[in-house]
Each structure stands twice: as C-alpha cells, then as structure tokens.
C-alpha cells in the first residue's frame, strides 16, 4: 500500500527512526511499519537490517579493545545512488556508515575507521607495533570497493577515496544506468535582535586637538536584522552562508578635560548594518546545535549627530565631531541553535572613526541576541 501525505517538517540531516504524517489526523509510523518512504526533494529511504562495525571514524577517537564489535539494527537507509549496485548511507550519529546494496536487496557494509589504537594485548605480540599507541586508518572499504567495482568501471584510485558521501557518490555514479538526487541548496530567512555594547577610546598627541584627553563612555543600544540563510542540503551539512541586513545605533557621551578645551561629547549615530557570515555547526545531527561564525560587517551612516559642546568658548560653543560615514569590520560569533530559535554573542572591531591629524578614535562592539528562523535549523 502506498500513502501520499504531508510529513512533519524536518531537516532530514539524519536517517529518522520514525516519521509523522500530519495532513489529516496525525499518525506516527515506526521503521517496522513502513518499508520505505520518499520526499518531494527526491530523497528515498528504504528499510534494511544492517550490521555496523563500532569502530570510530575520528582521528582523536580511541579504538575499542575489541575492534571487531558489530551491532545489527533495522534502519531506513538513505539511497544516495540507485544502480545495479546502489550506494546507501546511515546517518544517525556523527559517524556515518555506507552500504552497497545488490539487486537482490542484500547489503554490504563498507568498513572504515580512523583513530588511536593501543597494540598492547597478547594478540599483537608478533606485530611490529606491539607496545605502541599509534594513529591508524582502517581502509578496508577501499579494498571492498575495488573488488566490487573494478570489473564494472575500471581502475579506482584509492588515494583520493574518502569515506564520505561527497567522495563515494561520484564513484557509484559511474555505474551503468545509475541515478541520484542532485544536491540542492536550501534558502530560508531568519530575524534577530538584541543589544550591543559599544566601547571606544580616543587619544591625541596634539594638546589643541578636539580628541586630546577625550574620554568616551560605553553605551548599550538595540539592534535588529533580517538574515538570508544559504545551506547545502547535504546530510549533516555543517557550513552555511548568511548575508544579513539591519539597523543599529551607536549613541554615547564623553568628556574632554584638556587644559585648553573642556566640554562634553554627544554621539548619536544610526547605521544600516550589512554583513556576510560563514557559519560552522559542530554537531549538525544533534539538538541543540553549537556553532561559530566569522565574516565581515559593513556600516553605512544614515542619520545622527555627533558634536562637542565647549564650556569655555561661548563664541563657538558647539563643534561638529568628524565621523566616518562608511566602515568595514571583521566579525565573529558563537552560539546555540534550538530548532527555530537561536542564541548568539558577537564581537566586532569597528576600528578608526575619524581622520583627525595626530588623533585616534577606535570603537569596538559586543552584542548578544536572539534569532528566529522560518525553517527548522
């Protein structure tokens, strides 16, 4: 029996253990209840009973003492390439597993592992690595692929064959009558807002200068932004590009206590704030997700008034303080994503604000904010 219904929205970064149809009355199906299902994106998941070697695939991970530990599970595998020998993947943890599926629906695990291994037990006594702890790579899968594919597509260069969807999919795509879902990019919007703390320092070597012995206070002002997120729909994708545009305010006061000039500064500035950030998610298959982001911000001054009120000079009591109308600064963020919400902190070095001779006026910005995304993160 085939069902056509709307499935509860997900990012599908992992092979699910259950799915829920929500168009009419909600109904959740387990793996044992559905042999397969597909998405409008073209992705297909099929149920198989598969084995997994529980060796790690991270260089810093420690191999278990019994590196032949095998687990058997029933799972929906994601079909990456459909061919006479199909390629499928199991994404349920940070460690991916890949399988070759034959015409009779038999599955063969491609066995791979990277990590640190201790060769201390008696079974390694005749091994030259006995008594050592070394970083090793189990490249069994490369020999498996040569045995399975060399008669079908010719020579395979194992040196450039990583244990990843990016590397394996093009290889299976060379098989006769192969087909696969083309990777697309996902686009969606987010809005964010919060508060920023602007801190600035000024100095001058000229006693007659406006910024000589100037002292500016830190200030807290609001900001808001609209973001446009561009993310590859590859499973467990870690990287996304986020251009944003919004508005922020730099408002503060200060004093000048030089012997020749005494008075106060009043800074009121409104900026259009545009940025381009690259975000890296550390644990894309988990919730919550932790991330860092880096990029550049640009500021266009659209309104405001920056002035110095001189207490001792009644004939010229107010002086306009020179301030740049366009700035570019580096930006770095870190935070946590909770489904459609996120929390983040950001730091920027806005740098020099003026071109006064023999003077400097440097500003930094630290922010904390909340984000809402119109698609689950």
- Which strands sit side by side in the sheet containing 133-138, from one edge to the other? 57-62, 113-118, 133-138
**Distance between CA 341 and CA 13 in Å, rounded?**
17
| CATH classification of the domain holding 334 | 2.40.160
Domain span including residue 49: 41-180
* pLDDT score at 257: 82
Torsion on CA atoms 186, 191, 196, 200, rounded to nearest 10: 60
Does a structural domain hold residue 16? Answer: no
Does the residue 203 lie in any domain? yes
Q: How far apart are CA 48 and CA 10, in angstroms?
A: 22
Q: Cβ distance 204 to 352 under 8 Å?
A: no
> Final residue of a domain: which of 129, 153, 180?
180
Residue 132 inside a domain? The answer is yes
Give me the phi and psi of 107, to 5 degrees please: -120, 140
Domain boundary among 131, 162, 180: 180
Is 255 found in the same domain as 151?
no
> 4 lies in a domain?
no
How far is Cα 48 from Cα 135, in angstroms, rounded to an integer?
A: 33
Q: Same structural domain for residues 235 and 330?
A: yes
Looking at the structure, tell me whether residues 136 and 153 fall in a common domain: yes
Please check whether residues 341 and 211 belong to one and the same domain: yes
Q: How is residue 152 written in tokens? A: 């079908």
Q: Please count the other Cβ atoms lying within 10 Å of the Cβ belonging to residue 232.
A: 14
Same domain? 64 vs 203: no
Count of CA atoms in the C-beta half-sphere (13 A) of 237: 18
Please answer whether residues 283 and 94 qualify as being in contact, where contact means their C-beta atoms are separated by less than 8 angstroms: yes
DSSP H helices, the chain, are 140-153, 165-172
φ, ψ at 148 (rounded to 5°): -80, -35
The verdict on 153 and 77 lying in the same domain is: yes
The predicted pLDDT at position 321 comes to: 87
Q: Give a yes or no: residue 330 inside a domain.
A: yes
- Shared domain for 163 and 277, answered yes or no, is no
Count of structural domains within the chain:
2
Spatial distance between the Cα atoms of 74 and 277, rounded to a whole number of angstroms: 40
Please check whether residue 36 lies inside any domain of the structure: no
Whole-model pTM: value is 0.59
pLDDT at 11: 52
CB 342 within 8 A of CB 333: no
Q: What is the pLDDT of residue 62?
A: 83
- Res 114: pLDDT: 87
Q: pLDDT of the chain along its 377 residues, tens only?
A: 566 666 665 555 678 888 887 766 677 888 888 888 877 767 888 999 999 998 888 888 888 777 778 999 999 999 999 988 999 999 877 788 999 999 889 999 999 988 888 888 888 888 888 888 888 888 889 989 988 888 888 777 777 688 888 889 888 988 888 887 666 667 889 999 999 999 999 988 888 888 888 899 999 999 999 999 887 665 557 888 999 999 999 999 999 888 877 889 999 999 999 999 999 998 876 778 899 999 999 999 999 888 888 876 655 567 888 889 999 999 999 999 988 899 999 999 999 999 898 889 999 999 999 999 987 66
Q: Is 286 exposed, middle or buried (0-12, 13-18, 19+ CB in 10 A)?
A: middle
User: Could you tell me if 269 and 312 lie in one domain?
Assistant: yes
Residue 30 domain flag: no
Question: Is residue 96 domain-shared with residue 160, that is, in the same domain?
Answer: yes
238, 350: one domain: yes
Does residue 3 sit within a domain?
no
> Residues 216, 361: one domain?
yes
DSSP state of 13: -
Same domain, 213 and 359: yes
Q: CB 26: neighbour CB atoms within 10 A?
A: 9
What Å distances lie between residue 132 and 62, 120, 250, 308, 321, CA to CA? 13, 7, 59, 71, 68
**Residue that finishes a domain, picked among 137, 162, 180:** 180
């Amino acid at each position: 029996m085939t069902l056509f219904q709307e499935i509860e929205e997900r990012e599908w970064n992992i092979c699910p253990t259950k799915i829920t149809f929500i168009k009419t009355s909600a109904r959740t199906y387990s793996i044992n209840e559905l042999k397969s299902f597909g998405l409008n994106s073209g992705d297909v998941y099929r149920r198989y009973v598969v084995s997994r070697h529980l060796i790690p695939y991270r260089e810093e991970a420690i191999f278990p003492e019994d590196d032949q530990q095998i687990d058997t599970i029933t799972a929906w595998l994601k079909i990456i390439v459909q061919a006479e020998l199909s390629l499928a993947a199991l994404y349920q943890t940070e460690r991916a597993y890949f399988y070759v599926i034959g015409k009779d629906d038999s599955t063969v695990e491609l066995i791979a592992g990277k990590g640190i291994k201790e060769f201390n037990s008696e079974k390694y006594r005749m091994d030259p690595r006995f008594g050592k702890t070394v970083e090793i790579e189990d490249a069994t899968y490369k020999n498996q692929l040569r045995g399975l594919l060399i008669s079908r597509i010719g020579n395979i260069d194992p040196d450039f064959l990583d244990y990843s969807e990016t590397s394996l999919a093009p290889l299976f795509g060379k098989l006769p009558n192969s087909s696969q879902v083309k990777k697309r990019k996902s686009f969606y919007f987010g809005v964010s807002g919060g508060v920023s703390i602007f801190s600035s320092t000024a100095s001058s070597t000229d006693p007659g200068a406006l910024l000589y012995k100037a002292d500016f206070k830190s200030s807290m002002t609001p900001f808001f932004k609209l973001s446009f997120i561009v993310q590859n729909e590859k499973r467990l994708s870690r990287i996304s590009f986020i251009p944003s545009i919004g508005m922020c305010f730099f408002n503060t006061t200060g004093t000048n206590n030089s012997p020749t000039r005494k008075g106060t500064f009043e800074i009121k500035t409104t900026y259009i704030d545009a940025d381009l950030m690259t975000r890296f998610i550390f644990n894309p298959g988990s919730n919550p997700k932790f991330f860092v982001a880096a990029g550049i911000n640009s500021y266009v001054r659209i309104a405001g008034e920056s002035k110095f009120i001189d207490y001792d000079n009644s004939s010229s009591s107010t002086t306009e303080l020179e301030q740049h109308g366009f700035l570019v600064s580096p930006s770095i963020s870190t935070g946590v994503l909770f489904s459609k919400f996120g929390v983040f902190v950001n730091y920027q070095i806005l740098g020099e604000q003026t071109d006064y001779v023999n003077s400097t006026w440097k500003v930094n910005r630290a922010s904390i904010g909340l984000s809402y995304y119109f698609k689950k993160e």
